[in-house]
Amino acid sequence: MPAVALLLPTATYRAADFLAAARALGVDVVVVSERTQALAESMGDRALVANFDRPETAATEVVALAQRTAIDAVIAVDDQGVITAALATEKLGLHGNPPDAVMAARDKARFRRALAAAGVRQPAFHEIGPGDDVAAAAAGVGLPWVVKPVALSASRGVIRADDLDAARAAATRVRSILEAAGEACDGSLLVEQFVAGREIAIEGLLRDGALEVLAVFDKPDPLDGPFFAETIYVTPSRLPPRQRDDAAAAIAHACAAIGLREGPIHGELRIDEHGLPWVLEVAARSIGGLCSRALRFAAGVTLEELVLRHALQLPVDDLLRREAGAAGVLMLPVEKHGTLVAVDGVDEARTVDGITEIDISIAPGRDVVPLPEGDRYLGFVFARSDTPAAAEDALRKAWSKLDVRIV
């Protein structure tokens, strides 16, 4: 029976879905996390506590674990573990990406430099150090700007600035966010050109350097700032086929530019007024949160099953076609800082035609923080329908019935 090491940060949304996929495939699981969890405690030698902030050390510990129990693949479910997974995969001689490629995907400045060298269309950018004046450093990049950290994910610390004073304030705020997140706050930040247009996401699987597009998501709500909380994803995209193909080609070009060759990728792009794609980022992991539940493939296979199958080099050719019809997910945003009292109206929202699931993932009594400081959603709402427009409409109707009480 094959065995996989799953890198499961304690804050991940995705543990249950990956563990369910492993059970469906009859795959043994070794859990690697940064803290001892009840699940890990029950697994004895088939569990490991490792610090993902020290990936070299964590990878060495995974290799040592592999001497005691068989490991046929190492998979990080979220950004925190992707470098550890790549290093361990290389040390064990398993199927995966070169660590340098994964590191480039995690470091936004390194990613931008690699895409610039390869001629990939992307926003103009400059790096700024802690002593640099934002205006001087970003000369040549027309306002408005987007100020962002080189680390972090899910739009955390990403701020639009429409003038120089706002840009300086944003840089200060981003450094505070980094410090609060336990990241180095005295390194480089990015100042990027703000690209107007529609934003889309591409979910894909790399196999020997070739990109298989699994889904293209529209993000129908404008993402114009000053912060960039994502809300609705709907697939299939309503972009013209040529624009979808151009976007997929741009993501494939970006993956090649940084050296990604194997496994899941999640790409973000803007489509400008001329229909041209601009690459915002590529992550060397599958879509975050619980959003993968919006996707089903041939024979009802989940995205997590595809990821496990690919990492274990099991057949996937007949499973890559997404199910017929449209699907969508609403990521319920945190709209203000405080304590969550309740999310009312869930039962009523479930009655909306097309709604398939509602998962409120933060318990009452917990503190909640909106973007750009926060990194959590209140929950996820899922819809399926015949058309993308109908799926989007179901999500909006369900959203209108939810009453979030934060004090």
CATH of the domain at 138: 3.30.1490.20
Are residue 147 and residue 286 in the same domain, yes or no? no
Are residue 290 and residue 359 in the same domain, yes or no? yes
How much of the chain, in percent, has pLDDT values that exceed 70? 98
pLDDT value at position 163? 93
Mean pLDDT (whole number) for 290-313: 97
What is the CB neighbour count within 10 angstroms for residue 71?
23
pLDDT value at position 45? 63
Is 111 part of any domain? Answer: no
pLDDT value at position 131? 86
How does pLDDT run across 227-248, given as a tens digit for each residue? 999 999 999 999 999 999 999 9
Give me the residues paired with residue 388 across strands.
none
Are residue 256 and residue 395 in the same domain, yes or no? yes
Are residue 68 and residue 175 in the same domain, yes or no? no
Of 83, 99, 115, the domain-final residue: 99
Are residue 44 and residue 138 in the same domain, yes or no? no
90 has a pLDDT exceeding 80: yes
Q: What is the CATH number of the domain that holds 9?
A: 3.40.50.20
How does pLDDT run across 189-200, given as a tens digit for each residue? 999 999 999 999
Q: What is the CATH number of the domain that holds 283?
A: 3.30.470.20
pLDDT value at position 38? 46
Place of tokens 């987007």: 146
139 has a pLDDT exceeding 90: no
pLDDT value at position 136? 80
Is 114 part of any domain? Answer: no
- Report how many domains make up the chain: 3
Residue 228 is encoded by which pair of tokens? 């960039």
Is 167 part of any domain? Answer: yes
Is 393 part of any domain? Answer: yes
Is 106 part of any domain? Answer: no
C-alpha span between 292 and 256 (Å, rounded)? 24
How does pLDDT run across 26-69, given as a tens digit for each residue? 999 999 998 876 455 546 567 899 999 999 999 999 999 999 99
More confident residue, 85 or 36: 85
- For residue 172, what are the contacts with CB-CB under 8 A and spacing of at least 6? none
Place of tokens 């970003």: 138
96 has a pLDDT exceeding 80: yes
Of 193, 214, 241, the domain-final residue: 193
pLDDT value at position 39? 52
Give the domain range for residue 39.
3-99
